[in-house]
Amino acid sequence: MRSVTNNFRLFWQGTLLSYRALFHWLRPVTYAASKIIMPLAQMLFFVFLGTYATGKDNAAFYIIGNAIQITAVSGIFGVTMSVGGERDAGTLPYLFGTPANRLATFFGRAFMHVLDGMLGVIIAFGWGVVLLGLNLSHTNLGALALTVFITTVSTCGLGLLMGCLSLITVNVMFVNNFVYFVLLIFSGANVPISELPAWMQAVSWALPLTRGIIAARSIVAGASLAQVAPLLWGEIGIGLMYGLFGYILFSWFEVEAKRRGTLEVF
Amino acid sequence: MNAIEINHLRRVYKTHTGVIKRTSKEVIAVEDISFAIEEGELFGLLGPNGAGKTTTVKMLTTLLIPTSGTATVKGFDVVKQADEVRKRIGFIFGGERGLYWRLSGIDNLRYFASLYGVDPEVSKKRIPYLLDMVGLNGRGDENVGGYSRGMKQRLHVARTLLHDPDILFLDEPTIGLDPVGARDFRNVILNLQSEKKTILLTTHYMFEADALCDRIAVINHGRIIALDTPGGLKQHVADLSVVEVETFGVPESVLEKLRALSFVDSLAVENNEQKQMLLVQTRRGAEAVPDLMSTLDGQRLGRVVVREPTLEDAYIRLVGGEA
Amino acid sequence: MNFRILLKYWRTILVVAEMTIRQQLMDGFIIFTILFQPIIIAALALWMLKGKGPDYAIFVVVGSGLTGLWSSLLFISGNSINIERWIGTLESLVAVPTPFEVIVFGKNLANVFQSLLSMILGYIVAAWLFGYSLSIVQPLWFVISLALTIFGFICFGLVIAPIFVMSPAVQQWQNGMEFPVYVLCGFLFPIALLPNWTTPISYILPPYWAAVALHGTTTAGTPLNQTLFALGMLVLFSVIDILISSRLFKVMLFKARADATLGLE
């Protein structure tokens, strides 16, 4: 029982740490700009481009796709930096020196960004309704909220893996930006997956966001939770898979670093 | 004409604290300084950290605007005629920054040569000459990122001489250099002086000022507290001897007792990791030693040396207190 | 600054540009912004606009090249002065006889030039990956438009950089300025799609006129006088920007020297 409360405490501390780290350097104005304006700007760009390309009737396709994709900002930039930031802060040796349960600390960091990511998506949907005429009258809002949550979690899972990778690569920002933009293609946010060549489709299905976006589009069109459940299960699975990969990698790093005595390199 | 003239120069900084309720505080970096430097002089500005040396240099090099007062370099006002001043001066701020680490040494020099308006034909010849002069011959093609600290400092010297300025400002140039590197650097400075350049050198290394400078101004808390030749400054302490006592951590109460002794003019404490050096200035010379020892009874002591005062001691006397 | 100064310091400008390119050569973020991001946008847009036919390929190539130009100007040129301060070289750059605007002009030239690479690469992607044949409708006017675009962007950058330095508040919105310009300047879709009240905003953005000219000379269907008008506006804005920036730099440098913000302490 004691270890459960301990682990919960670690989890929560990880969350608080991420919270403070997230907001400490981020001034309120910058935060507002990135949470409210940036998603809107990106969405407007792709919605206009998309409707220019395929007609005004398809607006919802692009609105939903880009709104959900916004979670990648938190998942990829936010989570990756909070894990990778350990190295820059030089605190990795200290972290590795503690008997703290790695799982709890590790996943605790991501949790804050899950909340942050969800907020971003909700705001994006808000813009879609208010500015772009997104019709949510047939939507099961609860199912949509659940879809947003699950997709956010799974993107953060990818972020955890990338965070670990960033511990060994030097050019974190390059990788982050690259993955973020590539997701714009592979996630199906702006291009129907069915139109991509077969090898790209395979990659799409192996990534987070893909199933979540399809599910969200279905729900807005009137589908029920039961109908999209298989997609959501898939999304959870993907997210957990990446998260666990990240965790395994993280643990492996620790062992390797201690064995080779290269903790400072990390 | 004086090379540099400073008249009641003053520089005040405003600092802000707090994010929501902002309070501002004024810090006086330079309170009121006036002096003049002659052409061809090697002039030293000596003072502890935070005395206002770097601030003064930044004002003279047009990087900082004085709060009040005026300064001219070769007759040109540093604020109103900044461009004319910039053509005629070179400067180095000690430290590792200020170079492009992804460029080679030569490229750094080519870049600044172009910015200083040096004719390409001229810089083609001058760059190798300067690299040779500062001892970076053959290392010019390497990226500056791989240079040692001493090499970077020397590249700074080369950079500052590209346009052959008449006046040089060297702000703590030997800081962070190992003793050999620092000594080599001082030789470079002496060579420059022999070329009739006017040099303003700031430092907090006394022996450096003593060895190099024609005249020295001692600055503390933004004010000039003395201005004279090194010999003249040492006259301030001509009547004194200095007793150096090596100790290993003397409590403040004992130090107070020492200071209170009638024959002790001043007591400075130098901390050097585990060891302390007490510098006692006294007119009694060696005779003071027994009384000093009795006051220090019970303390663990190392060497005790009685010596002639140096510029450092004059400085301590002027500045007063801790070294 | 005026054109006389530009001409006087032409050699210095080229040296600054050369050194800027060399210094930035290995920077991951810069490589991403200049190369990868525009190519990804190009690929995305090519897919999305497939239904419009193969003639649209050149439109996408030019448009995504413009997105690269803008992102590069916003992030790289916009931050260039602050980066010099961070490296510790800003003081050395200010204290030289060369006017500071000339140095920034050279840096912007380097960045804009590097961004053109993305346009070329986009061209290659479209031609090779998608198999589109890309023909430029009015090659001569296209080259002229490109030259004026380069100049126009550099001059716009001369206004952006000092504003960012003097107003951290404005710079905080930097991230939010990227996509809106893509939208408002008609890079990848005509601004006719946007609500009418945004049109005046488009008109005062130099990249808009650049887009009109470049699209007009590469895609069929644009009358020449429309292109000429756009080029005229581009030149006009360039001149205005040079004049404004001259004032801005004076103010910025004076303020920096008075507030002691040239160095990091």
B143: DSSP letter: B
Distances (CA, A) of A109 to A84, A168, A246, B62: 11, 19, 13, 48
Do residue A38 and residue C37 have CB atoms under 8 angstroms apart? no
Beta-bridge partner residues of B89: B167
- Number of Cβ within 10 Å of residue A99's Cβ equals 5
C76: DSSP letter: I
B312, B207 contact by CB (below 8 A): yes
Beta-carbon contacts below 8 Å between A and C = 89
Mean pLDDT over B154-162 rounds to: 91
Q: Give chain B's largest Cα–Cα span.
A: 72
What is the rounded distance in angstroms from the CA atom of residue B16 to the CA atom of residue B23?
A: 6
Among B268, B288, B289, B272, smallest CA distance to B280 is for B268
Number of H helices, E strands in chain A: 13, 0
Half-sphere exposure of residue B51: CA atoms within 13 angstroms, side-chain side: 21
What is the rounded distance in angstroms from the CA atom of residue B277 to the CA atom of residue B245?
A: 6
Task: Give the DSSP H/E element, type plus range, for residue B71.
Answer: strand B68-73
Q: Minimal Cα distance from B144: which residue of C?
A: C23
Query: Which parts of chain C sit beneath pLDDT 70?
Result: 1, 264-265
Task: Select from B65, B87, B100 the Cβ nearest to the Cβ of C257.
Answer: B65
Q: Minimal Cα distance from B66: which residue of C?
A: C258
Q: What is the pLDDT of residues A52-103, one digit of tens each?
A: 988 888 889 999 999 999 888 888 887 777 776 665 555 665 666 665 566 6
Among B104, B79, B74, smallest CA distance to B89 is for B74
Beta-bridge partner residues of A242: none
What is the rounded distance in angstroms from the CA atom of residue B157 to the CA atom of residue C119?
A: 42
Among B292, B116, A49, A40, smallest CA distance to C50 is for A49
Show residues of chain C in contact with B83, CB under 8 Å.
97
- Position A108 pLDDT exceeds 80: no
Q: A213 falls in which pLDDT band (50, 70, 90)?
A: very high
Q: What is the pLDDT of residues B22-69, one digit of tens each?
A: 677 888 889 899 999 999 999 999 888 888 899 999 999 999 999 999
Instruction: Give B22 to chain C, closest Cα distance, Å.
Output: 17
Q: Minimal Cα distance from A187: which residue of C?
A: C44
C108, C65 contact by CB (below 8 A): no
CA C148, C153, C154, C159 dihedral sign is positive
Instruction: Give B201 to chain C, closest Cα distance, Å.
Output: 18
Show residues of chain C in contact with B105, CB under 8 Å.
none
Place of tokens 């408002």: C184
Do residue B91 and residue C95 have CB atoms under 8 angstroms apart? yes
Q: Residue A53 burial (CB < 10 Å; 0-12/13-18/19+)?
A: buried
Q: What is the pLDDT of residues A128-168, one digit of tens each?
A: 998 888 888 888 888 899 999 999 999 988 888 887 777 77
Per-residue pLDDT, A16? 61
Q: What is the pLDDT of residues C123-145, one digit of tens each?
A: 887 788 777 777 888 889 999 99
With a CB cutoff of 8 Å and minimum separation 6, the contacts of C149 are: C69, C210, C213, C214, C234
Q: What is the DSSP string of A94-162?
A: HHHTS---HHHHHHHHHHHHHHHHHHHHHHHHHHHHHHH----TT--HHHHHHHHHHHHHHHHHHHHHH
ipTM of the complex: 0.89
Do residue B117 and residue C94 have CB atoms under 8 angstroms apart? no
pTM of the model: 0.83
B14, B29 contact by CB (below 8 A): no
A38, C74 contact by CB (below 8 A): no
Q: What is the pLDDT of residues B210-268, one digit of tens each?
A: 888 999 999 988 899 889 998 888 887 778 888 888 888 888 888 888 888 888 888 88
